[in-house]
């Protein structure tokens, strides 16, 4: 039936590549969005009935208990929409973009295993709590699945004037980056819509890059996750807490998102003849430059103060913006706009073949300038109080 419909469209003059591109982006996105709108309200209902709340404290922005199991929908919806999209795709015989299928299957199975382990770890943390040491060990074990499946960074594409690197450097680097990205998303989740908004921008950027390069399988998984983030983001940002319509993603969601994004970035940066431009590693990391830069700054500040670098505090970039007097909503909007600007700058300069190390240095300097501007307004705000 589906193949018959596709044949009719072709006979009507539809372009095959355009049909594939439309399918790979629209179908998984719509499926995930519909499933998200179906599941998120029900998770809210269960959370309220079972009193599964994130309780406010001195470090948190919200002032009343909020359900924190929104992220429990991410992995199941991703799996359902992705598998449905692939199943329909194969029934319609749209096999373009599925090169080296046995390798792809192995790597996506490894991804599913790692995501499931982190998903269950996140659920345990949201319900009963898991120490940061235990979470760290689990993240490392899940990260090891990437090089185990043959997926690791072989080439830095001229970054730091390096190109092809040996396995004994590339594999540990890959594990480090997976753990780093996963924690970056987890730690930036402190303001409504910020972590999900940043991940949505990243998923859209990476998904469109894959679509343009006809990497349809890659595109499907990006838009499958993007779709479920849409209803969650709506409830997270615009939901009314007093009416029980607001929800957080919790560690279940942030760990799942961080792991998937690290998989996509490493995949695009690896030498698999996937057709991605060699500057994709840098362009991919520009989509998450704000949370990635925030981790070392916050940890160094904690060490200088003689505290454990893994202890939580209110020194993240979103906390700093709010100390200037900015409301949480506009804090989220500001950081998303800055992210879009940094992505555009990085993509344009990579396309112009500017030295990649120089691009990275400029990106870092722009991030430092942002913090200096924020510090200026914090000092101004504190001076007005005196």
pLDDT tens readout for residues 142-164 = 999 988 888 888 777 667 777 77
- Is the pLDDT at 191 greater than 80, yes or no? yes
- Is the pLDDT at 180 greater than 80, yes or no? yes
- Tens digits of per-residue pLDDT, 242-263? 777 888 888 899 999 999 999 9
Q: How confident is the model at residue 284 (pLDDT cuts 50, 70, 90)?
A: confident
Q: Do 281 and 203 meet the contact criterion of CB atoms below 8 Å apart?
A: no
- Tens digits of per-residue pLDDT, 201-228? 999 988 888 888 778 888 889 999 999 9
Query: Which pLDDT value is given to residue 218?
Result: 83
Residues 249 and 275: their CA atoms lie apart, in Å, by 34
Contacts of 216 (CB under 8 A, 6+ apart): 20, 21, 23, 24, 89, 94, 96, 97, 98, 210
If you average pLDDT over residues 294-300, what whole number do you get? 84
For residue 251, say whether it is annotated as part of any ligand binding site.
yes
- What is residue 39's DSSP assignment? H
Mean of the per-residue pLDDT values for the chain?
A: 82
- Is the pLDDT at 325 greater than 70, yes or no? yes
Q: What is the DSSP string of 146-215?
A: HHHTT----B-TTGGG--B--HHHHHHHHHHHHHHHHHHHHHHTTSTTHHHHHHHHHHHHHHHHHHHTT-
Q: What's the pTM value of the predicted model, to 2 decimals?
A: 0.89
How far from chain centre, in Å, is Cα 152?
A: 19
Q: What percent of the chain has pLDDT over 90?
A: 24
- Tens digits of per-residue pLDDT, 1-27? 555 555 555 555 555 667 778 888 899
For residue 186, say whether it is annotated as part of any ligand binding site.
yes
């Amino acid at each position: 039936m589906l193949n018959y419909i596709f044949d009719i469209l072709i006979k009507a003059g539809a372009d095959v590549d355009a049909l594939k591109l439309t399918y790979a982006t629209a179908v998984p996105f719509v499926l995930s969005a519909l499933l998200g709108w179906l599941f998120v309200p029900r998770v809210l209902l269960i959370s309220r009935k079972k009193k599964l709340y994130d309780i406010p404290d001195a470090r948190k922005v919200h002032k009343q208990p909020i359900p924190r199991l929104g992220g429990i929908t991410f992995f199941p919806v991703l799996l359902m929409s992705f598998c449905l999209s692939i199943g329909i795709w194969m029934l319609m015989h749209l096999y373009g973009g599925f090169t080296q299928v046995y390798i792809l299957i192995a790597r996506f199975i490894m991804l599913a295993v790692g995501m499931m382990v982190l998903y269950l770890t996140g659920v345990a943390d949201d319900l009963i709590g898991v120490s940061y040491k235990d979470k760290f060990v689990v993240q490392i074990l899940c990260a090891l699945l990437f090089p185990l499946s043959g997926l690791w960074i072989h080439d830095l594409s001229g970054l730091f004037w390096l190109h092809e690197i040996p396995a004994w450097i590339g594999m540990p680097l890959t594990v480090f980056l997976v753990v780093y990205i996963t924690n970056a998303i987890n730690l930036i989740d402190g303001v409504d819509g910020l972590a999900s908004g940043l991940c949505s921008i990243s998923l859209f950027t990476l998904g469109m890059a894959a679509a343009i390069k006809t990497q349809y399988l890659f595109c499907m998984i990006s838009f499958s996750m993007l779709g479920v983030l849409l209803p969650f983001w709506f409830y997270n940002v615009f939901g009314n807490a007093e009416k029980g319509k607001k929800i957080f993603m919790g560690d279940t969601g942030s760990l799942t998102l961080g792991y998937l994004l690290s998989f996509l970035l490493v995949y695009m940066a690896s030498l698999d003849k996937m057709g991605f431009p060699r500057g994709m590693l840098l362009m991919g990391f520009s989509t998450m430059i704000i949370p990635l830069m925030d981790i070392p700054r916050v940890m160094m500040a904690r060490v200088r103060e003689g505290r454990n670098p893994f202890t939580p505090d209110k020194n993240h970039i979103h906390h700093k913006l709010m100390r200037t007097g900015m409301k949480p909503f506009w804090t989220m909007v500001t950081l998303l706009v800055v992210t879009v600007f940094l992505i555009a700058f990085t993509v344009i300069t990579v396309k112009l073949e500017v030295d990649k190390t120089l691009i990275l240095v400029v990106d870092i300097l722009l991030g430092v300038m942002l913090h200096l501007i924020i510090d200026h307004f914090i000092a101004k705000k504190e001076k007005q109080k005196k």
